[in-house]
Structure 1
Amino acid sequence: MDACTLGDLLDVVGGPALRLHTAPAGQAVPVTEAVLHDGRTPLPRQPGALLLAVGVPAAESGPLLRAAARAGLTGVVVRGADGPVAEAEEHGVALLSVAEDAAWHQVHLLLASAIAAQPAAVPSDTGLGDLFALADAIATATGGATAIEDPRQRILAYSTVPGQPVDEDRRQGILGRQVPASAENTEQYRRLFAADRPLRLPALADGDLPRLAMPVRAGGETLGSVWVIDGGSLAPDAEDTLAQGASTAALLLLRARAARELARHRGSELLRRLLDGTAADPPTAAERLGLAGPAQVAAFVLDSAASVPDAERTALRLLDVVRLQCEARYGRHAGVLVDGVVYAVLPGPGAREQGRAGVERAGARRPEGVSTAGRSTPAGAPLRRTNEHSHKKLAEDIVARAGQALRVPVRAALGEVVPDAAGLADSRADADLVLRVLDADLPVAGVDEVRPRVTLLRLAEVMGERRELTAGAWRRVLAYDAAHGTEYARTLVCWFDAGCDMAGAARLLAVHPNTCRYRLRQLQQHAGVDLDDPDERLVLWLQLRVLAGLTGATA
């Protein structure tokens, strides 16, 4: 496993919980552990450690910084924000701080957990290597081929000890990484998960072999099960060995779960920074997230007009739906919930994205007696290309599925395709704009589909902020209508929308063309508008359309 770096640690717990003041040696320096220090004992030499300055006021931590440098420590964490930054830089030691009211034991637990999990090197199948080694160890000690499963009967790891008997049920299970479903299997699992000790189970079909199985539990929660094939030559203490193995499996599964959750949290923080444009090194952040080449941001949000009793919880469920669907389509995937909006980064046209792993993950071993022919695409196989059009279909599928599952209408927007991760903030901004123009008649759209709408929306915002862009004849037209009960503004926008065609404007207004001509002549006289000037016509139309919100259909 690669060493955790200061940058990795800040990616996970940086922000309000842990603030960096200076890192003279850069953020790529390793962090090996978090050490509590009470200030009354000499510092042992612990290269790479992060020192928690318990009992040492931040303003008085200068001597501790010097001692930390001599001991080869990476940095010192003080409580409060007034630490001696200049001294830290002089001695080449990173200086970090936590809040004044932070409890040191909680800070230590947070940092130690983050360092131990080392999320930068955690793949999606964290812990499987250890589980495979455990399966081999159990198989060797019991004398039977072993498999470790999760509660949904998916095979997480299996042994490959030579010479141990196996049956077709095992071969098929490993091939699909899933135990074959049957009523008999269901009944055996029911019995197993009700047991608190190793259970001997008979063969289910001719040619199959009996099993010795044990549930894997931690704190009352069922994490999975361990199965040993009984080929007639199990060791006398096989049950005791299996019970011990199940206990070890519980620890490994809990550790893997914690690492995955921490990795997901770190990935979410990295993605947030890419989306809001604050990532210090976008290419590195993108590499850590598995993003490469062109990309496109998709945004999903609950319909604001719908009544949602627990909007925060429902938004989290929407995040789960989006992640599930995107991971099923693209394999490794980045998604995050920000201010009630779920964002997903999708590969752009021509981008190369890892497809779903097949039966064998990278580093997994081929089961005995099983050919690789006919399998679904394994990790490392040729990468597939995706295209922009499929993203619209994916967004529509997610909107339909999420709306049905959550019982709340969902909207989805696709931003512009950008060449690399540095442009994700722009694609996110596009998607945010598109969300604002969606409605029940148009629940899903890409930015190019609604470009006129979002352009006018942004124009309204820009023009509304500038005095010189909101001044002009349009105000005089509206004021004259309000004072005299005329319909000059309505007539103008219908004439503009009809391409300055008098007959077309008359049809929109349901009046005679001569009425339109008369109104426009009066308008020019009373409001001082020169409709023969194309620039004035353009500005007047923009202001009436963008600032007054008038169109021929709604005027």
Structure 2
Amino acid sequence: MLTGGIVSIEDTSSRVLAYSRSSDEVDDLRRLSILGWQGPEPYLSKLREWGVFQHLRTSGSVIAIDDHPELGIRRRLAVGIRAGTQPLGTIWVQEGSQPLAPRSEQVLLGAARVAALHLVRRRREISADVRLTQSLLAGLLDGSTGPQSVATHLGLDARRPALVVGFALRTAPPGAPAPGTDASPVEFTRAELTALISVHIAARHHNALVSPAESRVYALLPELPAGLAPATVHGWVQEIADAARNHLGVRLQAAVGPVVPVLAGAPRSRQQADRVLEAMDRGVVAAEVASLDEVQAEVLVGEVLALLADRPGMRDPRLSALTERDTRQGTGLAASLLAYLDAFGDVRAAAQRLHIHPNTLRYRVRRAEELTGLDLAHPEQRLLAMLQLRLDGTPPP
């Protein structure tokens, strides 16, 4: 190596991908990292405390870490391997018995750029077998391919239960495209996300399959054990959402589809997961991880509102006028009316949620009735107002 040091390359989770041959000059950090294929947590904590990982995530420059004999750490240099703003890993060079070469930092910068090109290229080179698997899986999930093709190709028992989990990326870090590729930062983050989901779900269910599809990623869990508790799967998926936030800096929402008795039911499990994801898209469901059973009321109301949105003739023009008046004059009559209805007419509870005096709320509700001609004593008019005020964009309190 041109630096004269002892080299190792790690991924973004501090797992060792490759390392150079070394002698007895290696320090405890390198020895434990190689033996465990991951940096030991006490040392990683120190590096976090010193701001090393923060520097590697946010900067393309080389950072030097002084020797710490009391910790068994020798002097070393490190540089992040990056594709645009997306971190791919780190190159570490530990100093041995001799000082590092004078131009080691320049050599490291060049090595990081070359390594980035190789890592990006490797990620884009998908084998024919993987392509076939992804094609069969995508066909199974959308119902265009029968389950037997997937079962035969992968050696699965199509007679056993399965379920589908859908994932949606909500936030992607800004930045330039990965060097040497035409992928956007969002696409690159989605590739990272697919890899993260694959690793975590495979750790929990050995024959899980992952398929990206447009803006979403789906995981099929075939051959489920009998009696698998929904809470168990929910916990697995929550771990993935936590890992996406902690390691990729993105917000992930996930919908757990129902267990279907045989593999042929996978499209139905995906459809139910999609209903929850669409409710999440519309902001009707705010949970990070949910199943249809948990949020069925919110999903159904959201679907009713979507149907009404396609039928503008089914709106009450008096309520539309009330919303438009609020927009023009900066008043809050529609929001106050909705809060009042949501609270079943409990003025004090609704006023508390709006942070206004109960008398103010009473005035606003009375004024809304005067302007619209609604009679809130009629349940049909209350129901109509609740639906349309949400449809017209009046935010629930």
Same fold judged by TM-score > 0.5? yes
Tell me which structure has the larger Cα radius of gyration. Answer: 1
Distance 1:269 1:470, change over 3 A: farther
Quote the residue 1:398 is aligned against: 240
Alignment partner for residue 295 of structure 1, among 151, 162, 177? 162
Q: Report if the CA contact (8 A) 1:283-1:421 is conserved.
A: no
Q: Distance in 1 between matches of 2:332 and 2:359?
A: 15
Amino acid at match of 1:413: A
Quote the residue 2:197 is aligned against: 322
* 1:542 CA displacement: 1.0
Quote the residue 1:541 is aligned against: 386
Q: Report if the CA contact (8 A) 1:434-1:447 is conserved.
A: no
- What are the equivalent positions in structure 2 for 1:326-341 lying under 5 Å apart? 326-341=201-216
Distance 1:307 1:484, change over 3 A: closer
Quote the residue 1:304 is aligned against: 171
Q: Distance in 1 between matches of 2:336 and 2:302?
A: 23
SS of 1:344's equivalent in the other structure is: strand
For structure 1, list consecutive stretches of 5 or more residues without a partner in the other structure: 1-150, 153-180, 184-259, 354-382
Q: Report if the CA contact (8 A) 2:172-2:189 is conserved.
A: no
Alignment partner for residue 445 of structure 1, among 273, 290, 299? 290
Distance 1:550 1:275, change over 3 A: same
Q: Report if the CA contact (8 A) 2:333-2:365 is conserved.
A: yes
Going by fraction, where is helix more abundant, 1 or 2?
2
Quote the residue 1:262 is aligned against: 128
Quote the residue 1:203 is aligned against: none
* 1:389 CA displacement: 1.4
SS of 2:219's equivalent in the other structure is: strand
Alignment partner for residue 476 of structure 1, among 312, 315, 321? 321
Q: Distance in 2 between matches of 1:434 and 1:479?
A: 25
Q: Distance in 1 between matches of 2:340 and 2:133?
A: 53
- What are the equivalent positions in structure 2 for 1:168-317 lying under 5 Å apart? 261-279=127-145, 281-282=146-147, 285=150, 288=153, 290=156, 291-307=158-174, 309=176, 310-317=185-192
Q: Report if the CA contact (8 A) 1:286-1:421 is conserved.
A: no
Q: Distance in 2 between matches of 1:483 and 1:399?
A: 41
Quote the residue 2:339 is aligned against: 494
- Structure 1, residues 297-327: CA drift from partner, whole Å, max 9, x if none? 2123443253254332332232222223323
Q: Distance in 2 between matches of 1:549 and 1:346?
A: 39
Alignment partner for residue 311 of structure 2, among 462, 466, 485? 466
Quote the residue 1:101 is aligned against: none
* 1:459 CA displacement: 3.0
For structure 2, list consecutive stretches of 5 or more residues without a partner in the other structure: 1-16, 19-33, 37-125, 177-184
Quote the residue 1:413 is aligned against: 255
Q: CA RMSD in A?
A: 3.6
Quote the residue 1:504 is aligned against: 349
Q: Report if the CA contact (8 A) 2:347-2:358 is conserved.
A: yes
* 1:499 CA displacement: 1.0
Q: Give the TM-score taking structure 2 as reference length.
A: 0.56
Hey, which bits of structure 1, 4+ residues long, moved more than 6 A?
Answer: none
* 1:285 CA displacement: 4.4
Quote the residue 2:275 is aligned against: 430
- What are the equivalent positions in structure 2 for 1:56-205 lying under 5 Å apart? none
Q: Distance in 2 between matches of 1:445 and 1:412?
A: 7
Q: Report if the CA contact (8 A) 1:418-1:427 is conserved.
A: no
Q: Report if the CA contact (8 A) 2:338-2:385 is conserved.
A: no
Identify the range of structure 1 (505-514 vs 541-550) with the bigger mean alpha-carbon deviation. Answer: 505-514
- Structure 1, residues 19-63: CA drift from partner, whole Å, max 9, x if none? xxxxxxxxxxxxxxxxxxxxxxxxxxxxxxxxxxxxxxxxxxxxx
* 1:533 CA displacement: 1.2
Amino acid at match of 2:229: N
Q: Which protein has greater RCO, CA pairs closer than 8 Å, 6+ apart?
A: 2
